[in-house]
Amino acid sequence: MYERYTNNLKCYISVHGSSAEGESIVIVIKDDIGKIVFVVDSFQNGDINIPNDFLINDGINKIDYLVWTHPHDDHTKGLEKLLEQKVENILIPLRLDDCVYNLGDYYKNVYNAIRKISSIGCDNRKKSWTVVEEISSSSVIDVANYVINLTNRCEVKLVAFSPESQRLANISNSANPNCNDYSIAFNLIIGDFVVSLTSDIENNTIQYSIRREKVFDYYPNIIKIPHHGSESSDDILSLFTFCKENEDSEQITDSLFGISTSMSKNGLPNQSTLKKYTDKLGHVLKIDDSITNSELARLDFEIDVKASTVEIIGNQNFIEV
């Protein structure tokens, strides 16, 4: 983790999907000097590698954190292309080898490519290498510490809340493991702002965390609704404390955003599930299901740390629920 001074710290979040399926999230934290780039998952639309195309168009040639949340098509396709980039850190689920070898050759090849990168990183003769880290619910990664106007500090960190290591140990011998149980879910904390990236975490994992009192005493400014708005993942807000009782509750909830991607073949997002989010959050957005399967959807946020604001600055084919 590094510390530096800045007068201008902003975070840009781009959520990508399509009306059929697919999910990738690119996050860029910028200050006066440089940027930190996160890429969470990958998918393809035809011949287009969605996150790679985004990086090329924005002139980004280095990924600081590449996160592979779990091995499903709509979160994985094209990941091998991203491995060709300069990547500082690769984050993968704990015990992924228990799951991935029961899947097809594509997933095994991606996983083996990451293992190869990891083995190169053990060569102390190299001046630099990619760090590969397994993530569990106890993982906390300190990313950076900014000092704004010489007075206000802004810590940036990843705080994971899935997968659950003990639970994975209990299910690892299953002949047909549910890959969603391995999903990396984490909160990206940027000073006073929280972006919750939930992947395809499901209720059984969420309830497992709650029973062990692993809950958060804050609420997310932006939450990527898990598992494309599935009712099997609708307990996610139980992990957070919401301030409905405060006199400023309307102002608080109006600044909370929920975003759902799609999986049309499974009828997702589920409309009754989305209603649960609209009851808690100020804004809930989903991909417009009237667009064709080949059309892409993208939603862009800007967090201005100094101004203490979160706003949507770009919208392609997302609609408010």
Tell me the C-alpha distance between 318 and 310, whole Å.
Answer: 17
pLDDT value, residue 244: 47
d(CA 273, CA 258): 12
Smallest CA-to-CA distance from 24 within 6, 38, 5 is with: 38
- What is the pLDDT, as a whole number, of residue 243? 53
Q: Give the strands of the sheet with 222-224, arranged side by side.
A: 2-6, 140-148, 152-162, 185-190, 193-197, 222-224, 257-260, 283-287, 318-320
Are the C-beta atoms of 132 and 113 separated by less than 8 Å? no
Nearest to 182 by CA among 136, 228, 148, 217: 136
pLDDT digits (tens, 9 = 90+) for 26-73: 999 999 989 999 999 999 998 899 999 999 999 999 999 999 999 999
**Has residue 124 got a pLDDT over 60?**
no
Report d(CA 28, CA 26) in Å as an integer. 7
DSSP β-ladder status, 44-45 and 48-49: antiparallel
Q: 3-state class of 128 per DSSP?
A: coil
What's the CATH number where 16 sits? 3.60.15.10
Cα–Cα distance measured from residue 71 to residue 47, given in angstroms and rounded to the nearest whole number: 20
The amino acid occupying position 204 is: N
Taking alpha carbons only, the member of 231, 274, 198 closest to residue 15 is 198
pTM of the model: 0.94
| Non-local CB neighbours of 96 within 8 Å, separated by 6+ positions | 71, 111, 134, 182
R_g of the chain, CA atoms, integer Å: 19
The predicted structure's pLDDT at residue 249: 57
pLDDT at 129: 83
Pairing of strands 318-320, 257-260: unpaired
Q: Of residues 317 and 178, which shows the higher confidence score?
A: 317
Q: Residue 254, SS3? A: helix
CA dihedral 286, 11, 282, 295 (to 10 degrees): -10
CA–CA separation, 224 and 201 (whole Å): 11
Residue 194's beta-bridge partner residues? 189
More confident residue, 88 or 166: 88
Cα atoms found within 13 Å of the Cα of residue 98, Cβ hemisphere only: 20
Cβ neighbours around 164 below 10 Å, total: 24
Domains: count for the chain: 1
CA distance 240 to 66: 26
User: Which residues span the domain enclosing 214?
Assistant: 2-320
pLDDT at 123 over 60: no
Looking at residue 95, its pLDDT comes to: 92
Q: How far apart are CA 146 and CA 3, in angstroms?
A: 6
**Cβ atoms of residues 228 and 268 within 8 Å:** yes
